[in-house]
Chains A and B, each alone.
Chain A
């Protein structure tokens, strides 16, 4: 079975540009999570969807960050405008239901110059 698929794998862009990260969860999974990982702060939960509905976005750092899940097989995380401090690895994960183990995608390594 295909795992969680994220794109792009790497993104390098200049400060001020819009960045869109994409995620396809495992088919049949009802919960989707976006994380950010840095050396300083470790793995941080940004937002969590259940049945395509955002449940908790308290981890979203600023209004520059937004996430959508228009259907069960696709989600986006958008940063506009991007800043150098947004540079990190962004992971998407999905689980069957919210309290079950999460399965992670390969991540997007984002560099904002």
Chain B
């Protein structure tokens, strides 16, 4: 079992729709959760981070964390073609210095 699981996609949504990206993790002790966006041929770029259960909103992006279900998601409202990229979920367990990235979900936003 992988430490962080993501559906590889591609996830296709029309422009203006809500894109929902999901991630599950196996280590119940995980404490920090991150979403990165990676365009083809580029480096990962931080989009959101969340530490507590619930929702965290930043502009068109909302991160949702449910530690009981070991589940973290990223919602992108009013999706734009420029949002087309691979989205990586990452988790961190502080006291064991463990960092894991998922394999990423490819998002296609169609004009």
Contact = CB atoms under 8 A, between A and B. Distances in A.
Q: Do A and B bind each other?
A: yes
Nearest to B34: A101
B44 A98 contact: no
Interface string A62-99: 00000000000000000000000000000100000011
Interface in A38-58: 42-45, 48, 50, 55-56
A43 B103 CA distance: 7
B1 interface: no
B88 interface: yes
B94 A101 contact: no
Nearest to A45: B99
Contacts, number: 44
Interface string B86-109: 001010101001111111100000
A43 B88 contact: yes
B52 interface: no
Contact of A33 (B42, B88, B99): B99
Contact of A43 (B92, B94, B97, B101): B101
Given A33-B99, A48-B97, A56-B97, A99 B44 contact: no
A99 B92 contact: yes
27 contacts: A35-B101, A42-B101, A42-B102, A42-B103, A43-B44, A43-B104, A44-B101, A45-B99, A45-B100, A50-B97, A56-B98, A91-B43, A98-B92, A98-B94, A98-B97, A99-B32, A99-B92, A101-B34, A101-B49, A102-B34, A102-B46, A103-B46, A104-B44, A104-B45, A105-B43, A106-B43, A107-B43
8 smallest beta-carbon distances between A and B, as pairs: A104-B43, A42-B103, A43-B101, A99-B94, A101-B46, A99-B32, A104-B44, A101-B49
Interface of A: 33, 35, 42-45, 48, 50, 55-56, 91, 98-107
Interface of B: 31-32, 34, 42-46, 49, 88, 90, 92, 94, 97-104
